[in-house]
Amino acid sequence: MPLSEHEQRMLDQIERALYAEDPKFANTVRQTNPSVHYKRWIIRAGAGFVAGIVLLLLGLLLSNPDTSMVLPVAISVLGFVLMLASFLMGANAWRKASGGGAEMAAEEPEPKRRKGDKRPGMMNRFEERWRRRQEGDDQ
């Protein structure tokens, strides 16, 4: 949604005040690329995933039929949870770095269909075939 004229003037005024007060900070903020932030999160997620694999394998290596299985199972479960959390964090950062989140938020929601509206796709074709069959127009 575009800003009103009044809001745009106020935003420009705030920007000018920021440049006047701290030009070095303003230039730093202006030059910062948000995708760099998400790339760091992707790297951290990859490292977390590798650490999860190491913990999972460590739990398997520590398992001994003669001793208690509580500690190795706990280590393996912790490794799996770390892998899962790292994957989800990395996938989220990947989506945001590629711009998927901004595009989805910017799109307008689809208007709700009324009962008489045509449905797209397969159901529309099925209904059309059924109607032709009922009318005797079937080829």
Contacts 24+ apart (CB under 8 A), 27-32: none
Three-state secondary structure call for residue 115: coil
pLDDT 10s digit of each residue in the chain, 139 long? 677 888 888 888 888 888 888 888 777 777 777 777 888 999 999 999 999 999 999 999 988 888 788 999 999 999 999 999 999 999 999 998 887 655 455 555 555 555 555 556 787 888 888 888 888 765 5
pLDDT at 107: 53
pTM of the full structure: 0.52
Residue 71: CB atoms within 10 A of its CB come to 12
